[in-house]
Amino acid sequence: MSGTVSGRSRSAGVPGGLRGDATSFRKSTILFLNALAMKPIAMKDRIWARIETFGPGKAFMAKDFLDIASRGSIDVALAGFTSAGKIRRIRRGLYDLPIVNPELGGKLSPDIDEAARTIARRNRWTIVPDGPWAANLLGLSTQVPARIVYLSDGPSKKISLGRRSVQFKHARPQSLAGGDRKSALVVQALRHLGKRGVDDRALSVLKGSLSGSERKRLLKNTRLGVDWIYGVAKKLAEVHS
C-alpha cells in the first residue's frame, strides 16, 4: 500500500507538461533514427529498381541516378552492385546489366554500340556509326570491322570498351546529317555499300530492320541528299505502302 502511495506521489511531483514533452521528444528521436537507418537502404533499392527497368544489355552511368542520391552515394551503391556481380563495370563510370546466355558460356560481352552511345550521351556528342560498322549493325554485313569507328561532333578520341576499342572520329556536320539516328545509320551503311551494292537482299534486310514510321522518316530525311540513296528510300517506302 505504501509502495503504491509513494509511486503516485513521485508521479504527481512531475508537471504534466514536462511528461508530455519528454514523451514527444522520445518519439521524435526514435522516428528520426529509424528514418536515418532506412535512408541508405531506400536509396540503393531505388537505384537498383531503375537499373532493372533498363533491362539486360543496357549501358548506364552514375549521372543516370543523380535525381536519387549524391554522386558519392551513387558510386558506393554501384561499386557494391559490381562486387556482388549484379552489374558489370565496362570502364570507369560506365556499367551495364550483362546479358546472360548459359549456352554461350554465361555473360555475353558488352554491347559496343550501346556503350558508345552512352559515352556520347555523357559527353553530349552526336555520333553516327561509320560505314562498315553501320552495315554490320543493320545486318547488311556479317563481318565485324577490325576498327569500330563513330563519326562525331566531339573531339577525336580512342576509348577501350572491354576487349574492343572504339574510335570516335571528329567529322564535318555534313557527315553527321541524316535526320534521326536510324536514318543516319542507314545512310552511312548505304554509302559503304555503294549504289551497286544495294541488291534485293540488302533491300530485304533493310525492310526487316526499319519500321513503317522509320521508312517514312528515312524518305523525308534523304529527300535533299544523294539521289541514289533517296531512290533506295523510295523503294523501301513503296514496300511499306
The domain locations on the chain are: 39-100, 124-240
pLDDT band, very low/low/confident/very high, at 13 (cuts 50, 70, 90): low
pLDDT for res 179: 72
Contact 159, 138 (CB under 8 A): no
**Residue indicated by cell numbers 537482299:** 201
Q: In whole numbers, what is the pLDDT of the chain averaged over residues? A: 86
pLDDT over 90 (residue 39): no
pLDDT band, very low/low/confident/very high, at 210 (cuts 50, 70, 90): very high
What value does the mean pLDDT take over residues 174-182? Answer: 79
pLDDT band, very low/low/confident/very high, at 176 (cuts 50, 70, 90): confident
Distance separating alpha carbons of residues 80 and 77, to the nearest angstrom: 5
CATH topology of domain 39-100: Arc Repressor Mutant, subunit A (1.10.10)
pLDDT for res 1: 47
pLDDT band, very low/low/confident/very high, at 85 (cuts 50, 70, 90): very high
Least confident range from 26-30, 52-56, 155-159: namely 26-30
Cα-Cα-Cα-Cα dihedral sign, residues 177, 180, 185, 191: negative
The three three-digit cell numbers of residue 193, written as one number? 555499300
DSSP annotation of 58 reads: -
